[in-house]
Amino acid sequence: MVQGALASVAEVDPAYMGADCQRLALTGLAAARAQLDELALRVMAAAAAVADTDAARDVAAWQVAHNHHDIRAAKAEQRLAEALEHRYRGVRSGMAEGAVHLDQAHVIVRALDELPGDLPAATLAEAEAVLVELAGQHTPRELHRLGARVLEAAAPDQAEEILARQLQAEEAAARTKTRLTLRQLGDGTTRITATVPTPTATRLKTYLDALTSPRQGQNRGGGPYPRLLGTAFCALLERIDPTQLPQHGGRATTVVVTIALESLKQELGVGDLIGGEALSASQIRRLACTAAILPAVLGGKGQVLDLGRGQRIYTPAQHLALQLSQPTCRAEGCDVPATWCEAHHWKPWSAGGRTDLKDGALLCSHHHHRVHDPAFTATRLPTGRVRITRRT
């Protein structure tokens, strides 16, 4: 019958409908689609015998085999069908009336399932009624946000206590789920995979956003947002003050690199991190500008000639003084603010450079990398700007 009704309007051209008719059609079709979806879910909830007859694992698998549905969508609809059949009849009624569409139903059921399991039945029913009513004025995304606070409307006298218990349980579970793994990929990169509490992730994103300016994307090297975040993460680690870290082996945590003196002077060869990782000489020199990295410089017979100097890093006061005279990155044409820049030793440490204001140049992360890249040459101009060009 439904298919027959649709066939009767198959030749109708909406382009010839007036705006008022199109508005009514869109509204009516949305309601009709919600009603059809509810009917389909109701049938799915009762169709276990169909799956069993055709040897399907479940109704979702039957939908994939016979109606060619996507497996993930089919499974999600089966879970929703079971939830509407056994727990949330109010949501099902809203769909049957055309007032709640499928996407909203998924969000409402998820929000209700995330409420504490020990809620009184009357409170849960009131929360369901509130969200069904809100579906008439809000999108699924808005319903998701409202669902997290639905108890404030459904049970105002108990909401704060219930939410506090819920948050405490979530925070405890988040601590037990916290993980971080580092896997070297063998191509000079390491994949970092982490699961951390959401407040920690929010703090990290705030820090990374402070180091990432979409407006300055071209000056900072550009690229997609994930690449900008990755670059900002590297910059964040390099900005950490090692003196604030816990003591490790009797001293503040420090990265030690061994490199031959001639290699460091000529920017040739490689150095080795304690632990076996290799770094290029240019990378070591760049890190020495801002990181608490101690190059253990070796002579011809491997003896340690110098183990670095703790005052290599510019102090906050020196950095502020540099900002007063260098309001932006010193690279030609770059206007990244000085507060986002790194202090570069114009005269390298290996050549006797000192951590003095007259020897400091503020460079954004992108240009700081280029200055230390052997493929480029940097020239300090009379204006104080730095001209960076590729070597020929």
* pLDDT attached to residue 100: 96
For 353-382, give one letter per residue: b (16+ CB within 10 A) or e: bebeeeebbbbbbbbbbbbbbeeeebeeee
Residue pLDDT tens, the chain, 392 long: 677 777 888 888 888 888 899 999 899 999 999 999 999 999 999 999 998 888 888 999 999 999 999 999 999 999 999 999 999 999 999 999 999 999 999 999 999 998 888 888 988 999 999 999 999 999 999 999 888 888 888 777 777 777 767 767 777 788 889 999 999 888 888 999 999 888 788 788 878 877 775 444 444 456 788 888 888 888 888 777 766 666 544 444 445 555 555 555 555 445 554 444 555 655 555 555 544 444 454 444 444 434 344 445 566 667 777 877 788 899 988 888 887 888 887 776 555 666 667 778 888 888 888 888 888 888 888 888 999 998 87
Q: What is the pLDDT of residues 172-200, one digit of tens each?
A: 788 889 999 999 888 888 999 999 888 78
CB 284 within 8 A of CB 257: yes
Domain boundaries, the chain: 2-173, 184-236, 241-311, 314-390
- Closest-CA residue to 191 (of 229, 230, 220): 230
Alpha helices in the chain (DSSP H): 2-8, 19-45, 48-53, 59-67, 71-86, 89-96, 102-113, 121-134, 140-147, 151-154, 159-177, 198-210, 225-239, 261-266, 281-290, 316-325, 365-371
* E strand or H helix that includes residue 271: strand 270-273
Buried/exposed 24-38: b ≥16 CB within 10 Å, e otherwise: eeeeeeebeebbebb
Q: Which residues are CB-neighbours of 164 under 8 A, at least 6 positions away?
A: none
pLDDT score, position 274: 44
Backbone angles phi, psi at 194, to 5 degrees: -135, 145
Q: To which residue do tokens 């040459």 refer?
A: 377
User: In this structure, which amino acid lies at residue 294?
Assistant: L
Give the per-residue pLDDT at 380.
87
pLDDT tens digits, 22-39: 999 899 999 999 999 999
Q: H or E stretch including 386?
A: strand 386-390
- pLDDT of 309 reads 41
